[in-house]
């Protein structure tokens, strides 16, 4: 077998894939941390904490979708929701 017929690596596609993976990792990490905060609201809060937990869980899903569409700065919308959920967790639990 000859290796001379192997196609050259497409570095542009590789870079796009790598950037997408890094962006997904950032957004996913912040989203998972926010889900943990929502679980704390569900487990240790009262009725108000449960309602806010559901609202913040929905906000996490929306912010994560927006973050994945933004690209390199996509971690910012889920991080804003994470901060808001953190404040609510401190106040309600």
Residue for token digits 């192997």?
6
pLDDT classification of 1: cutoffs 50, 70, 90? low
Residue 46 pLDDT > 60, yes or no?
yes
Q: What is d(CA 70, CA 91) in angstroms, rounded to the nearest whole number?
A: 31
Residue 6 pLDDT > 80, yes or no?
no
pTM value? 0.84
Encoding tokens for residue 58? 């929905």
The runs of H, that is alpha helices, within the chain are 11-44, 47-70, 76-92
Residue 77 pLDDT > 60, yes or no?
yes
Report CA dihedral (23, 29, 34, 40) to the nearest 10 degrees. 170
Report pLDDT for 60. Answer: 97
Q: What is d(CA 18, CA 1) in angstroms, rounded to the nearest whole number?
A: 31
């Amino acid at each position: 077998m000859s290796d001379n017929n192997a196609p050259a690596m497409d570095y542009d596609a590789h870079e796009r894939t790598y950037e997408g993976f890094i962006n997904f990792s950032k957004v996913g990490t912040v989203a998972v941390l926010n889900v943990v905060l929502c679980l704390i609201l569900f487990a240790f809060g009262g009725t108000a904490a449960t309602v806010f937990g559901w609202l913040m869980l929905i906000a996490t899903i929306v912010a994560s979708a927006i973050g994945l569409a933004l690209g390199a700065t996509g971690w910012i919308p889920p991080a804003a929701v994470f901060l808001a959920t953190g404040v609510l967790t401190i106040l309600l639990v």
